[in-house]
């Protein structure tokens, strides 16, 4: 059966870790290549104690990568992201107890673990370790956690181990792993080629983060937005081939790769940046938490703490999205965000109509795991046809992917 496997055109990342079973990676690479797969080998530094990068590089017909920033690679600082998009399947064989723990808890200290965090494809883990390490409650908890995350885990095989003990802990044989690889790939679509990315050739504008409205040189009116949702949207759109401009208020986040970043501070500055760029954008995602009011007469010097009560006169800031909606192109897609604590859907539908939007994303900051300062979000999408869709609580990166999926399904013409 395995001799007739056809994996032509499928892209496999093989992660090799520091187990004596690493020698089995050589025949696994050979069999993957014989079946027609493209193979990129990633090794942890300890794996090089058991099998050389030269051996696996020769068999895979490519350079083996270990460090997060490989010296000989163009665009090395985002190589893990590129590989995460390229792969149809990520296989870790052998997977030591150390690597299993790192994968289960999101560690990112090698090219292998960084790529695993970036990968959108299925991930197949093949444990290999001594009997009592495999039996240990911590290891079993980590393997369970990997399955909860969505990874595939092949149970370790029973037999004689390098320590001389006999028990469960052996890495499955390359033929067994190859068979499981074929089964997983049969259930998944090939990764899209860069030219087939759904947003290739399209301009996307995303806003993110808070604005800061000055009271005086030392004080501002602002909100707790971290910018995480907008940054996730910008990164996800860029990964789908878009030319992305991110207009962002002050955040502590690193700029997403392959994204043009325009930094602003106030609502007025954000309005100027968005209106200047919004006309040309095919898709606009307004995820920023823009202040509704700003001090009418900010002081040019620090206000002294003299009065028990301080009265500030505030004026409305520009309605950025309403202005965009009033001057939008017929083929432009506008997506707004609404943070509501009361009558959420009713208020959001009013904003959808008033601001001439196609979609609006609604969330409640008082709900656990939603809103400001959380790595997750729980949102409701209001569709163009008036329907609403509740998404479960999930990481904001996954919310971004789900939103892009819905918007592109409804609006994107593959022929454009």
Residue found by looking up tokens 């679509």 in the block: 189
Q: Is 223 a catalytic residue?
A: yes
In angstroms, what CA-CA distances link 202 with 20, 178, 298, 333? 49, 39, 40, 11
Asked if 182 and 88 count as a contact pair (C-beta separation under 8 A), the reply is no
DSSP 77: G
SS3 of 118, please?
helix
Beta strands in 217-355 (DSSP E): 219-221, 243-248, 259-263, 283-286, 293-295, 314-316, 333-339
Tokens 């604005």 sit at which residue? 211
Q: List the structure tokens of 55.
A: 């051996």
Please tell me which residue in 223, 271, 347, 356 is annotated as part of the active site: 223
d(CA 175, CA 199): 39
Maximum alpha-carbon separation in the chain: 85
Backbone angles phi, psi at 98, to 5 degrees: -65, -45
> b/e for 168-182, b at 16 or more Cβ within 10 A?
ebbbbebeebbebbb
Q: Specify the pairing of strand 314-316 against strand 293-295.
A: antiparallel
Q: Which positions are catalytic? A: 223
């Amino acid at each position: 059966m395995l001799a007739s496997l056809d994996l032509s055109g499928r892209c496999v990342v093989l992660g090799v870790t520091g187990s004596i079973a690493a020698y089995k990676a050589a025949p696994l690479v050979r069999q993957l290549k014989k079946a027609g797969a493209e193979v990129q080998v990633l090794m942890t530094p300890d794996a090089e104690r058991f099998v050389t990068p030269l051996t696996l590089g020769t068999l895979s017909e490519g350079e083996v990568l270990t460090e997060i920033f490989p010296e000989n690679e163009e665009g090395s600082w985002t190589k893990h992201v590129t590989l995460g998009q390229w792969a149809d399947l990520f296989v870790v064989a052998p997977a030591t107890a150390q690597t299993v723990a790192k994968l289960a808890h999101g560690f990112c200290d090698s090219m292998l673990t960084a790529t695993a965090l970036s990968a959108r494809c299925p991930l197949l883990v093949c444990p290999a370790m001594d009997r009592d390490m495999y039996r240990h409650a911590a290891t079993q908890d980590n393997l369970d956690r990997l399955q909860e995350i969505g990874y595939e885990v092949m149970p370790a095989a029973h037999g004689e181990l390098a320590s001389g003990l006999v028990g469960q802990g052996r890495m499955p044989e390359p033929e067994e792993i190859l068979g499981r690889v074929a089964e997983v790939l049969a259930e998944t679509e090939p990764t899209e080629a860069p030219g087939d990315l759904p947003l290739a050739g399209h301009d996307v504008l995303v806003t993110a983060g808070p604005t800061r409205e000055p009271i005086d040189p030392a004080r501002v009116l602002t909100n707790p937005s971290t910018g995480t949702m907008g940054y996730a949207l910008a990164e996800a759109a860029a990964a789908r081939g878009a030319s992305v401009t991110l207009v962002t208020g002050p955040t502590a986040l690193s700029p997403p790769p392959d994204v043009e970043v325009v930094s602003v501070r106030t609502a007025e500055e954000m309005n100027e940046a968005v209106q200047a760029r919004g006309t040309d954008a095919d898709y606009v995602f307004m995820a920023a938490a823009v202040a509704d009011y700003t001090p009418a007469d900010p002081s040019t010097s620090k206000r002294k703490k003299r009065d028990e009560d301080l009265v500030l006169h505030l004026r409305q800031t520009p309605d950025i999205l309403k202005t965009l909606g009033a001057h939008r192109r017929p083929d432009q897609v506008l997506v707004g965000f609404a943070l509501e604590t009361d009558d959420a859907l009713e208020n959001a539908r009013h904003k959808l109509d008033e601001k001439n939007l196609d979609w609006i994303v609604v969330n409640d900051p008082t709900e656990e795991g939603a809103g400001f300062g959380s790595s997750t979000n729980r949102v409701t999408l209001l569709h163009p046809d008036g329907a609403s869709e509740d998404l479960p609580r999930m990481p904001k990166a996954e919310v971004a992917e789900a939103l892009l999926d819905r918007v592109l399904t409804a609006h994107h013409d593959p022929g454009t």
